[in-house]
Structure 1
Amino acid sequence: MRKYIFFGIALWILAGCAAQAPPGGGPEDKTPPELISVEPSWESTQVPANQSITLTFSENLSPASVRTSFMLFPLNKTETRMKIRRNRVRVIPVDHWEDSTVYTLVFNRSIQDLRGNHLEEGIFYTFTTGEEIPEGEISGQVPNFGKKDRILIGLATGEWRPDSLFNHLSYLTETDHEGFYRFQAVPTGLYTLSGIVDHDQSKSYSPGFDDLVLPESLLVAMKDSAKHRIDLAVVRGNFIPMKYISGKNLYPSVTELKFTKVPSSQTMKSAFVINDFPVDTFQILGKDIRLYHRMITDSLYRFHINLLSDTLGVSAGPFSDTLAVQTFTDTLGRVRWQDNCLVLEPPVDLDTLMVTAFSSGDTSRRKMHALLPGHFEPDDSWKGKDFNGRLAVTVPLPEAYPTILKWTDTVTVRYIAESDSGRFICRVPDMPDKQVGFILTGKNGRYKKVITTPGTCIFENVFAGEYSLWYYPDRNHNNRQDHGWLWPYKAPEIARPLVEEIQIRARWDTEMDLHFEDE
């Protein structure tokens, strides 16, 4: 006999009840309470409209813990009151149970006896005022959940937007430690399925805090004993448009802007205008954008952004601000080494820079190419081996910074050569979709490839380390993974794990045959 409606739920409501002091006298009792009987019996049908549900336990219970642990499904359908006397709990409808309705009473493990012992397992009791208990089932997995995520999956009767579903819930469950969820005994009808990562522990969607969990199929039509497999994906960062926080002029040719969200990597430099002129280039640094532009000779200047999108494609803008110019007045330019790059401050507009490298038994002239203004990367002559030593840097004095009298420095450098990478070659004899994207991810990097036909997929220049391989169906053939959209609803292209613990070695080809499980 089935005694539960949901799978993989351990805590419905945070159990914050204070344990009551145990009665004095006698040996300490550590035996947890057990459910002895329930009336009407499990999965009873045609339950009378005014029938109370009585649960009898093996020990006297803490009334506060019983009330805290209780939840009734469908939610917001019938108001109930509760009578608790010693080891007996009665759930009574305030008015009456609805006709032809399937109910499930849930008591989680926070129920305690008078000595603070908890239930070993939650209680899921299903009954109906109709003629039968339905066999309908909806189950699936959230493959990209985080180990610390508390993911709630909601089911609402009717058609709703994903971000408003938690205001109209009929059923609610929580994923287990592997990201699986299940709804059972779901009556026939049309439902909306969606979820949240409940960061603020409110059991409702808080746009400023929570991430949405979007399903492959938003609407579910339940018929008779249908069983649906529907996976969902966590969409990180929510759908609130980004906001401009502040801007600062770092140097007369460099401006840094701060936003509330990470801008899209698809952003074009034409989006940014300084004093009616487009910028030369820009750099995205997390939630900041660094603009490189022509020299500002006035004390004030204005920037304008007509439209900007975040990583989810949510548009925001326009943004404008007036900033004060920070004039460089130091007599010395500064040099530092960062992320395999030589950085000059203030930035100078040079195409190449010659430096002298000093290491054990080696002194040589090396060339570096401009990656961005003031950022120089080693040329191809560096890329054969690592370098640990010092660089002597002499920068030609630029006319743009007449206050600089000397720009010579020596910096300690640890250069990691690109030869410390390998190739990952995977053979794909068959594909679950017409176009499939692969994501190779690990602590040392994240690499992406899309293939359109079965064959060989090669990841070049992968830094050595341990990786896992994921795949997703690129159903709209745009060569990237789409995270979905709210309304009109667009289903996410869900990435699923394919291979764990792939060890990539430097200067080595790692080969593997890939096989997809049937979904």
Structure 2
Amino acid sequence: MQKQFKEFRSKPAATWFTLILLFVLFASFEAFITSCASRSSPSGGEKDTLAPQLDTSFPPNQTIHFKSPSIRLKFEEYVDLKSPQQQIRISPLLPDDLEIIGKGKEVLIKGLDSLKENTTYIISFGAALADFTEGNVNKDFKYVFSTGSYIDSLELKGRLHDAYTGEAEKDMLVVLYATDRKSTRDSLLYKVRPEYYAFSNELGEFKMTNMRSGKYLLAAFADKESDFKLNANAVKMAFWTDTIDLQPDSVYAYQLFSYDPTPKFRYINARHGALGDITFNFSAPMDSAFKVEVLDAPQDSGFFKLGTERDTLYYRFRFKRDSLNFKINYDTLFVDSVISIRLREYDEPKLKISAPVKEFRKNDTVFIYSNLVIAKWNIDSTAFYTPKDTLKRLPLRDSAREKRWFYAPPHQSGFSLMFNKGAAEYSASNRLKDSLWFSFELKSGEDLGTLAFNVSADSALPYILQILKEDDSPYRLIPFTDSTTVVFKNELPQKFKAFLIRDLNADGKWTTGNFLEGQQPEIRIPYTEELEIRANWELDLDWRYRSESINNP
């Protein structure tokens, strides 16, 4: 072994140089081959901004008398299919989903064994077709073919907006059903898949092409299960009231208005979500037939409070327990059922008092707010300062909101409030910890402004003028026909929002739609100009609105 080692060490330097040179050449060649085999963007030149374009297809696009079980598409560059099962769709729909296979520059579509006779089909790629290097998407690519002797060419387009907010509806499924089906109009959306469909874009626009003539039902809904069926009564939807008759040489454009249907009332659940607060949740405003009663609470230690939207009921309490039992009753759904709610441990928050609005007029109510329901005020720890006097004057409880307190008008001057430590208490161990000082300023004369808002509309229709404050809190709701004038007299400077509601059922409030009854949602139209009251200004504004029927394309 020692001899062999010596012989190895004694090899000439030239031999070592030759071996190293061969190694370097081999490594460089391998790196060159690897770089050539990798698909990547060139280091120089302009960036590729073009989406993949079709080179050839078999059968060719726009084929008639189509009989092939598959379609092979070849593009001009390597393609990357993004979510093909969700993006690539065929219309009219088939009983089973398409099988999509992408490889290199080619896309193979299989699953065409159940095509109908004399029918035009459109395969839309959505946002699935992107080039491999830069990800440029061809959103307009479609493959069209017909099993009959011609390609259907009728088109239908439209827009879809929320009836109440006016916002465009994105990614909502818009559908057409042939009305010659055996299924009734009421059951079409729930039981069968549509003949034609499209999805609305970010502007609420939709378009269907290559359709055959005939009579159809037009609707739209949020397809939450991705099965092209309306799966629940409370899903957001829209529909066209009348049957649509598609005929050649006509243009069809429709405006649809979406709405959230009123769900049937049902009790959902109850939970202890905050300190001293159990919330009962319902699917709709609380039915008067629903009854709930606490069973094992100390007497006069809690109370029930209905939420402002009437779809929640609160039980407020001030004692500690591991759990509470309630008896609930709602006609025949459940009779005297008892539910037990386990109470969670919550850290008691520090009592706080706030006064967000510091300016008022002579006849305004001045509000202060607390984060907890105040059990008691200590009048000796409070002071009410006016320019002339110092008074002992406590705020009054607001019966509508138990965490809001107020000082009633009229007010003769501005004033300040001093709440010293212990001025208010939630419990014996949770009193106001820090002294607070609030100053309120009385505004009058040149500090205020006046605005006359004159609104006119179609005299034959009932309307509602809805005015909101800038934070969307309600200000006024005025039913009228023909015209009305709202006078904001001697108001604090502020901005408002105004809307017109087509009060189709003349009930004085906005009403949602009902597909089964053929009732469209009432349309809410925004006033798009500035509606602002400025100090020491008197303004006159006019809004003349002329409606357009929602049932005419």
- The interval holding the TM-score normalised by the smaller chain is 0.5 to 0.7
Deviation at 1:195, TM superposition (A): 1.5
Equivalent position of 2:237 in the other structure: 214
- Of residues 152, 158, 161, the one that matches 1:133 is 152
Equivalent position of 1:191 in the other structure: 217
**Is 1:515 aligned to residue 535 of structure 2?**
no
- SS of structure 2 residue aligned to 1:100: coil
Distance 1:217 1:120, change over 3 A: closer
Equivalent position of 2:484 in the other structure: 456
Equivalent position of 2:466 in the other structure: 439
**Is 1:180 aligned to residue 200 of structure 2?**
no
Equivalent position of 1:60 in the other structure: 78
**Is 1:152 aligned to residue 154 of structure 2?**
no
From the two aligned structures, give the one with the greater helix fraction.
2
Residues 109-159 of structure 1: per-residue CA shift (max 9 Å, x gap):
332334244234421344433445242525232145698974312315265
**Is 1:168 aligned to residue 189 of structure 2?**
no
Equivalent position of 1:3 in the other structure: none
Alignment of 1:57-456 (within 5 A): 57-62=75-80, 69-77=87-95, 80-81=98-99, 87-89=105-107, 91=109, 94-95=112-113, 97-130=115-148, 131=150, 133-143=152-162, 150-157=170-177, 165=190, 168-187=193-212, 188-191=214-217, 193-196=219-222, 212-217=235-240, 220-225=243-248, 227=252, 229-235=254-260, 241-246=266-271, 256-260=277-281, 264=285, 273=293, 282-284=305-307, 289-290=313-314, 303-304=326-327, 306=329, 321=339, 336-337=353-354, 340-343=367-370, 347=374, 356-358=383-385, 363-364=390-391, 366=393, 368-372=395-399, 375-382=404-411, 390-391=418-419, 410-413=435-438, 425-431=452-458, 434-441=461-468, 443-447=470-474, 448-456=476-484
Instruction: Output the amino acid matched with 1:34.
Output: Q
Q: Which moved more, 1:211-220 or 1:270-279?
A: 270-279
Q: Distance in 2 between matches of 1:145 and 1:316?
A: 37
Q: Distance in 2 between matches of 1:370 and 1:122?
A: 63
Deviation at 1:424, TM superposition (A): 6.0
Q: Distance in 1 between matches of 2:371 and 2:103?
A: 76
Q: Distance in 2 between matches of 1:317 and 1:489?
A: 35
Equivalent position of 2:181 in the other structure: none
CA contact 1:353–1:367 (8 Å) conserved in 2: no
**Is 1:50 aligned to residue 75 of structure 2?**
no
Equivalent position of 1:5 in the other structure: none
Instruction: Output the amino acid matched with 1:470.
Output: F
Distance 1:334 1:344, change over 3 A: same
Deviation at 1:395, TM superposition (A): 7.8
Distance 1:392 1:236, change over 3 A: farther
Instruction: Output the amino acid matched with 1:259.
Output: F
Q: Distance in 2 between matches of 1:347 and 1:269?
A: 32
Distance 1:239 1:101, change over 3 A: farther
Q: Which moved more, 1:363-372 or 1:337-346?
A: 337-346
Equivalent position of 1:484 in the other structure: 513
Q: Distance in 1 between matches of 2:188 and 2:420?
A: 57
CA contact 2:461–2:482 (8 Å) conserved in 1: no
Distance 1:240 1:390, change over 3 A: same
Deviation at 1:248, TM superposition (A): 8.7
Distance 1:513 1:164, change over 3 A: closer
Q: Distance in 1 between matches of 2:81 and 2:274?
A: 62
Q: Distance in 2 between matches of 1:65 and 1:334?
A: 53
Equivalent position of 1:15 in the other structure: none
- Identity among equivalent positions (%) equals 12
Distance 1:69 1:349, change over 3 A: closer
From the two aligned structures, give the one with the greater strand fraction.
1
Q: Distance in 1 between matches of 2:142 and 2:326?
A: 60
Instruction: Output the amino acid matched with 2:216.
Output: L
- SS of structure 1 residue aligned to 2:271: strand
Q: Which moved more, 1:357-366 or 1:441-450?
A: 357-366
Deviation at 1:481, TM superposition (A): 0.9
CA contact 1:166–1:204 (8 Å) conserved in 2: no
- SS of structure 2 residue aligned to 1:413: strand
Instruction: Output the amino acid matched with 2:512.
Output: H
- SS of structure 1 residue aligned to 2:124: strand
CA contact 2:218–2:239 (8 Å) conserved in 1: no
Q: Distance in 2 between matches of 1:457 and 1:490?
A: 30
Q: Distance in 2 between matches of 1:299 and 1:27?
A: 71
Deviation at 1:443, TM superposition (A): 4.1
Residues 312-334 of structure 1: per-residue CA shift (max 9 Å, x gap):
xxx999875568999xxx9xx96
CA contact 1:391–1:411 (8 Å) conserved in 2: yes
- Could you list the runs of 5+ residues in structure 1 that have no partner in the other structure? 1-19, 309-314
Q: Distance in 1 between matches of 2:352 and 2:111?
A: 75
CA contact 2:166–2:524 (8 Å) conserved in 1: no
- Could you list the runs of 5+ residues in structure 2 that have no partner in the other structure? 1-36, 179-183, 357-366
Instruction: Output the amino acid matched with 1:244.
Output: N
Distance 1:260 1:80, change over 3 A: same
Deviation at 1:371, TM superposition (A): 1.4
Equivalent position of 1:312 in the other structure: none
Equivalent position of 2:28 in the other structure: none
Deviation at 1:108, TM superposition (A): 2.5
Deviation at 1:479, TM superposition (A): 1.1
- SS of structure 1 residue aligned to 2:512: coil
CA radius of gyration, larger in: 2
Instruction: Output the amino acid matched with 1:22.
Output: R
CA contact 2:454–2:483 (8 Å) conserved in 1: yes
CA contact 1:147–1:177 (8 Å) conserved in 2: no
Instruction: Output the amino acid matched with 1:430.
Output: A
